[in-house]
Every structure is written in structure tokens, then in C-alpha cells.
Amino acid sequence: MRVRIAFGAWWLGLTLAWMAVTAPWVGGAGVAEPTFWWQLRQQALYLSGVWSIGMMSLVMLLSLRQRWMEWPLGGMDQVYRLHKWAGIGAAVAAVMHWGAKESSGLIKDVWGTAGRPARDAVLAWAVDWRGTAKDLGEWAFYALLALVVLTLWQRLLPYRPWRRLHRVMPALYLMLAFHTLALMPLSFWRLRMGGLMAVLLGVGSVAALWSLAGRIGRGRNSHRGQVHAVQLLGPVAGRDPLEVLCAMPTTWQGHQPGQFVFASFEGLEGPHPFTIASAPGSCGSTPDGRPLLRLVIKPLGDYTRSLHAALQPGQAVRIEGPYGHFDGQGAQARTQVWVAGGVGVTPFLALLEARQPGAVQTEALQPAHLHYCTRNAAQDAVLPRVRQLCEQAQPPVSLQVHDAAQGDCLRPEHLVPHGTALDIWLCGPAGLGQAVRQAADRQRGWRLHQEAFQMR
């Protein structure tokens, strides 16, 4: 919901800013007059341009992964959701901008050139750069459209080549920023719209340059650690999860249960997001006093399947974070229901460890009900650990296992006995999340908190 509100507010703000500097454009002309269509084209061209570069500027800002962005949106996973939808919005607006530009031929064929507005004046230095700015904008538009299609249609391109292509996005933004700077009417620059565009282009350009310099994720929130131990949680490499203990430096200030980090292992591609599967302090520390952090990694793709053979104790790792607000704690008056699917159990492992005898609890916790969905309970290497943690949890956490191999798949009606006022915390496959979300939309008393771990 916060992402939708933020997206709508940004879009509305851009629209209102454009309306504030745009005079009534039809000038009393009727739809049967050529002036109407030429002015309609001109204003559609400007408005779609403002939308597109405004959304792209937001995309570049969000790509910086700053901690302060989490609070208004509810976690870094939600920042990535807004980043994705702002990119889609920018591409849609760019298509509209291109369509408005190309419509001149049709209008000319039907209505002629009578009533066509004169070319707007631009900044003095940009007069000789009009042609270059138009070409750069068109090339960047085609590239942006291709990247958005590849992002949405993930079967077209595996993650690794997509990630490499995605790195050109800051360069595309700089091309679009130059296009905007050189072609925006001089009259806009003299009004408040000019100030707004200067801020958007300035912030977006700084973010783009920061990204091209490889500085994202390398500030005070980045920590140089070391792989302490690697253990396969099961007999089959490439199928069973991998437990990785990371020794953190003294700069590490701890985390909250349910948070995640971006981990970059030395010699491998990165960074990749992984949920922290341990409560603060539950893994102890190394002999020299470095705190230990546990990651449980499910082999879901080429990268994660290769980690079993690639990771060795002593290997350097850069940890960025922690991020996220998935704390499993809602309103005191509501029943807390946890829903985990597959590797989505990892944040709940940390939440359960925080309820073990002797664990340091920084806030009053509530009883909870955990629904754990697994493909095959008999082969699930994590399930025994989940059972043990639930049995010892204080306040208590009841456990219900849904074994797909036995035909027991979680359905929203399984949550109904818990009551009508529920806080549902869900981390799992997209299909499971969609089914529970649809049920929550029908049940007015259900509030769904979903970890959006799809960073693409």
C-alpha cells in the first residue's frame, strides 16, 4: 500500500507541477480546428516528458539504497518495488512521449500545418545542440524500453546477463537528462517548474554518476567480513540449503530479527540479498571476538547453486545492511500469523531464535502461529530445526506444517480459525503471496505484511 501511495503521490506531484506552469492550451479552439490538435500534441509532448524524466529521476535516487528510504516505504524490499514500478512508469511515459512526437506527421496529413505552434525557445547554449539532444533521447528511449521488457519478461534473459545490462541504466539516464536539459522550453526554466526540474536532474545525475563509479553500497553501511564456516543442511548439494556463518568486523552494529543483507563473496558476482537466519548474538562470536552472522541460502538459481563449491572458510565477504522491517510484530490487539514458504522460512528462523530461553528481547513479544509450507517434509533439512525452535519459543509459537508431497498445500481458509483480526507475516513464493493477498483483500480484518524479495 505504501508503494502505491508513494508512486501515486510522485506522479500527481509531477502532474500538478506541469499544470502550474501551463496556460489553458486549447485557447477556445474546437476539436474540428487544426489548432486544437497541434496544441494537444505539444502539451502531451511536454507532460509525458515531465512524467518520464521525473520517474527516471526517482529510479536513480532509489537505486542508491539509502537507509532513510526504508522508513517511509516500510523496508528496503519495498524500496525495490517502488524502484521497479517507477521504471515501468518511466517507460510508459516515454512511449507516450515518443507517440506524441511521431503524431506530427498524422496531424499534418489530416489538418495541415495551420495553427502549428512555433518552436519553443530553449536555453541559449542548447540552440546548437537540439539535433544531438533529440538523437540521444531517441536512442536512450529504445534502450530503456528494451531493458524494461527484459526485466518484466524474465524468461528472456537469465539474471547474470540482465544484471550486466542493467548497469547501463545510469548512462541512459544521463542521456535523457541531457535531452531534457537541452530541449525543455525556456519559459519553463523561468518558473517554478524550472527549479523542480533542476532538482530532479541534479539529484538523478549525481545518483547516476555515483552508480557508474561503483559506489553504491560502499558507505558506512558496508562491512568487510569473512566466511567462518560453511555447512550443507542435507545430503544433496544443489538441492538442500547451505548454511554460511560470517564473521563480522567490530563496525557491525547488530541487526533485528527478520532483516536481510546484501552479500558479496570474494571472487563471485554480487551483491545478492540474503535474509539473516539468526537472532542477534545467537551464533556467538569468533575466538578473537568478532560477532557471527548466519545466512541460510537455498539453491534457487545458477549463482546460489554454485555457492556450495565456491565458498571456503576464510573467504572475504562484504556485507551491506542490515535492511528491512519484517519483525513479525503487529498490533497487540491482533493475532500474529506467520506464513513461510520454502526458503521464505529464513526470517522466521531469526524471529524464533529471538524467542528462545536466554535470548535478549528488546520489546514485549506476542504469541504467534507459524504455517510452514514445504515441498516434501521428509526431505526438508530445515524442518527439524523449525520444530525445535517452535517447541522452545517463549512467548509460544504454534506450528502447522503443510506438506505438498502429501497433498497438504496451504489455502487461505487455513488461516480463518485464527480469527478475524490478523496480522499476517508472509515470506514465500509469489503464488502463495498472491493467494493470501486476495484472501486478505476480502477479509477486512486481515493485514498482510509481505517480504517482497524479488529484486528484479
Mean pLDDT of 360-373: 85
Quick one: pLDDT at residue 245?
Answer: 97
Mean pLDDT of 276-304: 92
Quick one: pLDDT at residue 456?
Answer: 60
Quick one: pLDDT at residue 270?
Answer: 77
Mean pLDDT of 101-116: 79
434-444, pLDDT tens digit by residue?
999 999 888 88
Q: pLDDT confidence of 59, banded at 50, 70, 90? A: very high
The angle at the Cα of 343, spanning 338 to 348, to the nearest 5 degrees, equals 35
This prediction has a pTM of 0.89
Phi–psi pair at 296, nearest 5 degrees: -115, 115
pLDDT at 202 over 80: yes
139-195, pLDDT tens digit by residue?
999 999 998 888 888 767 777 788 888 899 999 999 999 999 999 989 888 888 899
Q: pLDDT confidence of 451, banded at 50, 70, 90? A: confident
Contact call for residues 83 and 59 (beta carbons, < 8 A): yes
pLDDT at 264 over 90: yes
Instruction: Please give, one letter per residue, the 3-state secondary structure of 193-214.
Output: HHHHHHHHHHHHHHHHHHHHCC
pLDDT at 99 over 90: yes
Quick one: pLDDT at residue 323?
Answer: 94
